Structure 1
Amino acid sequence: MPTRTLRGACFCSITINPADAQPTPALLHYLNDLCKDPSNTVWIISGRDQSFLDTYLGKIPRLGLSAEHGSFMKKAGLNDWVDMLKDADMSWKDTALKIFEKYTNCNPGTVIEQKKSSITWHYRNASDTEEAERQSVLCHKELIEIPGVDILVGKMNLEVRSLLVNKGEVVKRIKQKQESDFIMCVGDDQTDEDMFNALKNDDKAFCISVGPLSKITLAKYSVDQSEDVVNIIAQLVSNNSTL
């Protein structure tokens, strides 16, 4: 019998400092229960780094992890991460960093977050958020001149990432190795649209966007907030226990 496969992104509350965002106890509880069923394959496909995922999700058995939009992957039960970009040309990062440093110096309170496959400028905590918002438009115009990258306009941030990896490619890799009769894919960010796109022609996939119902998305279903997703996972756990 084909396995029931569930995939999704990690859902965290938005905070003043992005590094403070953490999975809720309820989410961790239900993810743990969901992973206990050997019929389920569960993955967290996140933009966060390896250290964050190891710290907050690494102790859940049978949980697959993907960090930095697919730059690193760790299959369930394994201790080592696989670097998906070990042979890639990442010289674009120096150019992106110089651009971000210029705008950071002009906008007190903004910070730069560097990862293996991406660099992000966060201006949520800028001293003058309206001015930082205006500056972000100018910054974006400079970033789009860099070859070999994708520019993402996020929630009070700008992100430059390698075109070689994204969450959609992770989903494709998992699908190639996993036969499924049910797929649930959930995300609340622009980067999650790559997952929805990878699954748009799969009639077994149920893609759910988290956020305002007016948001433009490739997902066929929407919920208002991440707590709704926790409730959905709780129902899946409950249904599994009655089978």
Structure 2
Amino acid sequence: MPPVVENPLFFLDYDGTLAPIVDDPGAAVPHPEAPALLRTLDARHPLWIVTGRDLQALSSFLDRPYSAIGLHGAQEGTVGRDAHTLMSDAAAEALHRLRESVPAVEGLQVEEKDQSFAVHYREAADEETARRQLRNWLADLPDVLDAIWGKKVVELRPDGLTKGTAVRRIADQHPRRVPVYLGDDVTDEDAFAALQNMDREAVTIKVGEGETQADARLLGPDAVMDYLHRYV
């Protein structure tokens, strides 16, 4: 079990961490224990949701206006309330152009995310072919964007804005707190690295299987709930 610290600053990913991974992103309801547990933790400690989702969309799953980072670091604000984009006009324009040219492949699902979007291919009849066509589509990706390949999904984000840059900025605002980051996907590795490179204590936890540079691991949302209950 990962360590429990006295003065935590929580950074919690949503999909795969607070909610099980499902085929339909619109059906990713939180773990049954998560709502009450998040309310308790948020009342006692600074807590941020760090997600690839747009923060307005996340409000359909969370019942409180939690502080949050959205779009993998390109958005900051409050779930269901105010949120502001950190991306440049050039990145926003490039995203718009790419959105209009997504390959017409049967089974691809485009998840709209305010100024950004993700393309899921888990429903494609031939996932390998779909992935190859998506790679061809992104072969000439503009320098202002990065492509993030996750769990049967590719997402686009502005270059230089990551979950790592976001959590580093927030952690600097709470120098007496110990960052505790839980996440399951490739974009969370940026956050693990950013916190580990700070000259202070931090707890980094990979949720699920796969290679990681996190210091500890939990198997899934059930184990996440068990761990977070130790702070209650």
Note whether the superposition's TM-score is higher than 0.5: yes
- Please, which of 192, 206, 228 is the counterpart of residue 203 of structure 2? 206
Aligned partners of 1:88 and 1:178: how far apart in 2? 32
Q: Does 1:231 align with 2:226?
A: yes
Q: Does 1:57 align with 2:52?
A: no
Q: What letter is aligned with 2:36?
A: H
TM-aligned CA deviation for residue 207 of structure 1: 0.3
TM-aligned CA deviation for residue 22 of structure 1: 1.8
Q: Is the CA contact (8 Å cut-off) linking 2:171 and 2:179 kept in structure 1?
A: no
- 1:20-169 equivalences under 5 Å are 20-37=27-44, 40-59=45-64, 63-74=66-77, 79-85=81-87, 87-100=89-102, 102=103, 105=104, 107-126=105-124, 128=125, 131-147=126-142, 148-169=144-165
- In percent, how many aligned pairs have the same letter? 27
TM-aligned CA deviation for residue 87 of structure 1: 4.5
Partner-residue secondary structure (3-state), 1:134: helix
Q: Is the helix fraction higher in 1 or 2? A: 1
TM-aligned CA deviation for residue 154 of structure 1: 1.3
Rg comparison, structure with higher value: 1
Q: Is the CA contact (8 Å cut-off) linking 2:35 and 2:63 kept in structure 1?
A: no
Aligned partners of 1:55 and 1:89: how far apart in 2? 27
Aligned partners of 2:192 and 2:145: how far apart in 1? 20
TM-aligned CA deviation for residue 16 of structure 1: 2.1
Aligned partners of 1:91 and 1:165: how far apart in 2? 16
Q: Is the CA contact (8 Å cut-off) linking 1:4 and 1:180 kept in structure 2?
A: no
Change over 3 Å in CA distance of 1:200–1:144 after alignment to 2: farther
Q: Is the CA contact (8 Å cut-off) linking 2:74 and 2:158 kept in structure 1?
A: no
Aligned partners of 1:144 and 1:117: how far apart in 2? 21
Give the CA RMSD over aligned residues. 2.4
Aligned partners of 1:172 and 1:75: how far apart in 2? 18
Q: Which runs of 4+ in 1 moved over 4 A?
A: none
Q: Which residue of 2 aligns with 1:240?
A: none
Q: Does 1:175 align with 2:171?
A: yes
Q: What letter is aligned with 2:41?
A: L
TM-score (norm 1): 0.81
Q: Is the CA contact (8 Å cut-off) linking 1:110 and 1:125 kept in structure 2?
A: yes
Q: Deviations over 1:192-242 (max 9, x none)?
A: 111111111244111000111xx22121111111211111111111xxxxx
Q: What letter is aligned with 1:175?
A: A
Q: Does 1 or 2 have the higher relative contact order (CA < 8 Å, sep 6+)?
A: 2
Partner-residue secondary structure (3-state), 1:114: strand
TM-aligned CA deviation for residue 117 of structure 1: 5.0
- Please, which of 4, 7, 10 is the counterpart of residue 8 of structure 2? 4
Q: Deviations over 1:40-87 (max 9, x none)?
A: 111001111122322332525xx31122222322259x9422232365
Q: What letter is aligned with 1:66?
A: I
Q: Does 1:16 align with 2:14?
A: no
